[in-house]
Amino acid sequence: MPDLDFIFNPKSVAIVGVSSVADSLTNRNFLKPLLECGYRGKIYPVNPHMTELMGLKVYPSVLEIPEPVDSVVSGLPASLVPKLMRECVEARVKVVTCFSAGFSETGDAEGARLEAEVLDIARRGGVRLLGPNCLGIHNPAAGCTFEAGGSRRSGHVGFLSQSGGNTRELILAGAQRGVLFSKAVSYGNAADLDETDFLQYFASDGDTKVVAAYIEGVKRPQSFVRALRETVREKPVVILKGGRTQAGTRAVMSHTSSLAGSAMVWDAVCRQTGARQVSDMGELADAVLAFSYLRPPRGRRVGVVGIGGGASVQAADDCERAGLFVPPFPPELRRELRAFTTSAGTGIANPIDTSPDVYWEPALYRETVKLVSDCEDIDLVLVMFAAVQAVKRGVEELKRQIEAVLDAGMAMSKPLAIVIFTAGMVEAEKVAAEVGAQCLEAGVPVFPTMGRAARAVNHLISHWESQGRWRCGPR
């Protein structure tokens, strides 16, 4: 297995096809992010009709760059890529990230021929090809990325994705939610470097503790399944498979020219290897968050703490539908809770539907969470907050309550996750983002609904169960 570290840590990058139009796709996706994210390697913009761009000297071609170039990004039209690849071979470039589209994914013969030609030149010349039809790499530690809006902090999530848009989405949404990357890669049509290569890379990469993948098709099924099985033994793997339906399969063909394969076969592969399958990018982010922040609980018994009768019923249904258990609390615990929770309009059996005077009183809410987490029948604790209510009541009061819960969490031996519910209301979303940041700083993950939290926690538990052992988590 080749070491692909050079792909994620190039000492120099040439960007071919930069434009005098400042916001051109190539400038925006490659040149600007390197400049904004403080990439410390050398940057060589290439365009035969320009001499300077954003303070950098522009070179007429890759061959005219006087120093060695590790990595080349192509923003050229597909028809010009074979010539570029020949130059890259001559210049001993290590990897070409082919952002250019117009290859096999077009479905026409000329596109497929071009892709085969580019691949052939690359392989014979000893240059690795990323893509075509991709955005390439995101390595926050190196400041080397196509998306400057993500977090500059490194983390432990490795993401391999056939879709550039999905990669960008996880980087951006992840910055808000606390999903931090070791590295991510958008690899498009996978003409050369493919899902198996990157899976193996992340399996052995010491910085990566959780692997996430968006995969449309697999180029080398046998190697892939072997790599998947081996990777899951080392760390959790979360997979979103694009193209599970007839229409999805067709869309995959025109997106990355991949053969989607049968959804049934995929399901079997995931079951056998222990990889966790998700059904959209939101669930993928949720699962990655759970793996990043939560120790493996000892079991599936969850204590749910919150407010609202309907919300408690929904929480109980959501948890049990996701495969968790919400056992009734033992009589001693109920007695202790009842000592400070009024009986009218509340529930203390699990879920806890507490009274407003407990929900808005730090000491009492902290005590509630503490009592639940001390209960022997409980393996993890989920605490619900309604950002909708806080819109009226004031975000400061909500912050105090969350602080009290985080405080209880610090002393807990069991995993704690928080749900901040917004019902999609924009004012509540603002509140949720603000207090969510507070939770993440304390190392506690936040989910937008109880259903999503429960599914994420189920992935967490199911992974560690599939490994046949309860051991220390990814962190």
Interacting positions 258-277 with its own copies (CB under 8 A): none
Site for its own copies (CB under 8 A): which residue of 230, 234, 320, 374? 320
Site for its own copies (CB under 8 A): which residue of 345, 394, 410, 475? 345
**Beta-carbon-side half-sphere exposure of residue 303 (alpha carbons within 13 Å):** 26
> What part of residues 218-237 is at the interface with its own copies (CB under 8 A)?
none
Site for its own copies (CB under 8 A): which residue of 61, 154, 204, 314? 314
Site for its own copies (CB under 8 A): which residue of 214, 224, 293, 385? 214
Among left, alpha and beta (phi > 0; psi -120 to 50; other), residue 423 is left
Smaller CB separation from its own copies, 115 or 367: 115
* Contacting residues for 250 by C-beta, under 8 A, at least 6 apart: none
> What part of residues 359-398 is at the interface with its own copies (CB under 8 A)?
386, 388, 392
Which residues is 301 bridged to in the sheet?
A: 325
Smaller CB separation from its own copies, 139 or 350: 350
> What part of residues 41-80 is at the interface with its own copies (CB under 8 A)?
77-78
Site for its own copies (CB under 8 A): which residue of 82, 221, 299, 327? 327
Helices in 29-127 by DSSP H: which ranges? 32-36, 81-90, 109-125
Interface with its own copies includes 244 (CB under 8 A)?
A: yes
> What part of residues 142-171 is at the interface with its own copies (CB under 8 A)?
149, 161-166, 168-169
Token pair for residue 161? 């994705």
Report the alpha-carbon distance of residue 99 to residue 96 in Å, rounded: 9
Residue 287 CB, nearest approach to its own copies (Å): 14
Smaller CB separation from its own copies, 264 or 472: 264
Site for its own copies (CB under 8 A): which residue of 69, 118, 199, 281? 281
| Choices 120-128, 366-374, 425-433, 459-467 (CB under 8 A): range interacting with its own copies | 425-433
Size of the site for its own copies (CB under 8 A): 86
> What part of residues 433-472 is at the interface with its own copies (CB under 8 A)?
433, 448-449, 451
**Do residues 405 and 413 touch, judged by C-beta distance below 8 A?**
no
Residue 444 CB, nearest approach to its own copies (Å): 17
* Contacting residues for 108 by C-beta, under 8 A, at least 6 apart: none
Token pair for residue 471? 């051991």
Smaller CB separation from its own copies, 60 or 77: 77
* Contacting residues for 219 by C-beta, under 8 A, at least 6 apart: 190, 194, 195, 196
Site for its own copies (CB under 8 A): which residue of 108, 120, 267, 332? 108
> What part of residues 119-138 is at the interface with its own copies (CB under 8 A)?
133
User: Would you call 368 exposed, middle or buried from its count of C-beta atoms within 10 A (0-12, 13-18, 19+)?
Assistant: buried
Token pair for residue 382? 């989920």
Residue 143 CB, nearest approach to its own copies (Å): 19
Site for its own copies (CB under 8 A): which residue of 43, 50, 425, 442? 425
Smaller CB separation from its own copies, 20 or 126: 20
| Choices 138-146, 323-331, 373-381, 401-409 (CB under 8 A): range interacting with its own copies | 323-331
Asked whether the CA dihedral 98, 99, 105, 111 is positive or negative, the reply is negative
Residue 250 CB, nearest approach to its own copies (Å): 6
Smaller CB separation from its own copies, 58 or 446: 446
* Contacting residues for 420 by C-beta, under 8 A, at least 6 apart: 385, 387, 431, 432, 435, 436, 439, 446, 447, 448
Strands 136-138 and 181-186: antiparallel
**Do residues 328 and 348 touch, judged by C-beta distance below 8 A?**
no
Residue 115 CB, nearest approach to its own copies (Å): 12
> What part of residues 190-209 is at the interface with its own copies (CB under 8 A)?
none
Site for its own copies (CB under 8 A): which residue of 34, 252, 384, 416? 252
Cis peptide before 68 (omega within 30 of 0): no
Interface with its own copies includes 351 (CB under 8 A)?
A: yes
Q: Binding pattern to its own copies, positions 19-38, x when CB under 8 A?
A: ------x-------------
SS3 354: coil
Smaller CB separation from its own copies, 70 or 216: 216
Strands 276-278 and 128-130: unpaired
Residue 30 CB, nearest approach to its own copies (Å): 15
Interface with its own copies includes 323 (CB under 8 A)?
A: no
User: Would you call 223 exposed, middle or buried from its count of C-beta atoms within 10 A (0-12, 13-18, 19+)?
Assistant: middle
Token pair for residue 228? 């998947």
E-strand ranges in 26-135 read: 42-46, 52-53, 56-57, 71-74, 95-98, 128-130
Residue 173 CB, nearest approach to its own copies (Å): 4
